[in-house]
Amino acid sequence: MNVLFLTIGRMEHIEEHALYTDLLRCFRDKGHNVYVVSSREKRYGLPTEYVEESGVHVLRVKTGNITKCSAIEKGISTVLIGREYRSAINQYLSNVKFDLILYSTPPITYVNVVKYVKRRDGSKTYLLLKDIFPQNAVDLGMLNTRGLKSLPYRYFRKQEQKLYALSDRIGCMSKANVRYVIEHNPDLNPDTVEVCPNCVEVRDVSVTGEEKLEIRQKYGLPIDKKIFIYGGNLGKPQGVPFIIECLKRCEKIENAFFFIVGSGTEYKRLDTYVTQEKPRNVKLMKSIAKDEFDHMIAACDAGLVFLDHRFTIPNFPSRILSYMQAGLPIIAATDRSTDVGKVITDGAFGWWCESDDAGKFVELVRYALTEDLESVGKKGLQYLRTEYAVEKAYEIIMKGLDEHDEVVSKTLVFQ
């Protein structure tokens, strides 16, 4: 089967360990021919290229800037990306007939390219829904649903609805995601929406006691305290003012140290806090390569998840998989719409509070310090093996498409 995967991620190499590369290697190893179309933002100064890497065909398309740029530039680039991908596919992949198109959000502006390839090749289509946009931007006050300022929202909402309608199956990250999509898109056939969780290749990333000491020394971390680490994006969705409030309230906890690793539009706000107030138990560092990060967190004691309390859409941060793989228990401070906290607490590998209650966060940190963190973290690793191994996502996708074929076949017979 020829599989086309569309993403705005850089996809530097198919062998890197990340959500999509892990899944694509799984397709490759199952005997499928995998083709990737990814974004190469213009700020890198590199042209479009088509190469084969480790048995996977990769088409990197020169596009406008989508990350680390102004909202206007990002918006324009996002709108144009479907057209740019379609043009590149015509130029480099016109002789390949695709049986399956996989694509992930963000963005939701793949409509033209998905529609084109689906019609051209009669492809099956599967949406990996990782981002419910534009509602998430409305929740954070970045878009409006009324008045003149509602024009961008209405455009993107229409694109979202078209993309859902084009998709033979929609794989959501959790049960709460499924419920939300069905409830807010009444024209959608609910039978096409299913849970297809974030999944990774399960690896042994454990470190020895000696390695743990070396890693802590390398990053300037104390060896006699419990390290609570946050890694990932530091933007509006994470509610950085709440993170800062939590850090301030935890300053007097003797045995706790907080290590924040990330980048994003709100990084400077955190940097200002650390630079000006010089908290004794906080270290802030820019993002590092994922493999290096995964190795580093194995020397820490607990992982942190933050989501802005205003969200009405159920996000499910993929970063928890890195914590689980490293055997770290998790403290999640989120909105009430997401079920990530329920998953963590039901699985008994961490704790949850609302992300507008800094006092409760402090309580959870103090409680965690009294627990056997290694034992709690092992439950998370076992949960990862059972629920979030990449083979599970592959099986869900393939089974869902088979079920779609059965429904279509029965409909045609009935007609």
- Residue-wise pLDDT for 378-410, tens only, equals 999 999 999 999 999 999 999 867 765 655 544
Q: Look over the chain and give the mean of its residue pLDDT values, rounded to a whole number.
A: 91
One fold for 2-201+389-414 and 209-387: yes
Where along the chain do its domains lie?
A: 2-201+389-414, 209-387
Residues 6 or more apart from 284 whose CB is under 8 A from it?
A: 260, 261, 270, 271, 274
Q: Write the class of the CATH domain 2-201+389-414.
A: alpha beta
Contact 135, 98 (CB under 8 A): no
Residue 120 φ/ψ, nearest 5 degrees: -65, -45
What is the C-alpha separation between 358 and 283, in angstroms, rounded? 19
What is the C-alpha separation between 167 and 176, in angstroms, rounded? 19
Residue type, 389: A
User: Which neighbouring-strand residues pair with 404?
Assistant: none
- Residue-wise pLDDT for 116-154, tens only, equals 999 999 999 999 999 899 888 888 888 888 887 798 889
Q: Which CATH number fits domain 209-387: 2.60.40.10, 3.40.50.880, 3.40.50.2000, 3.40.50.300?
A: 3.40.50.2000
- Residue-wise pLDDT for 325-337, tens only, equals 999 999 999 999 9
pLDDT for the residue numbered 414 = 45
Confidence of residue 369 (pLDDT cuts 50, 70, 90): very high
User: Is the model's pLDDT at 411 over the cut of 50?
Assistant: no
User: Is the model's pLDDT at 80 over the cut of 90?
Assistant: no
SS3 of 117-184: HHHHHCCEEEEEECCCCCHHHHHCCCCCCCCHHHHHHHHHHHHHHHHHHHCCEEEECCHHHHHHHHHH
pTM exceeding 0.85:
yes
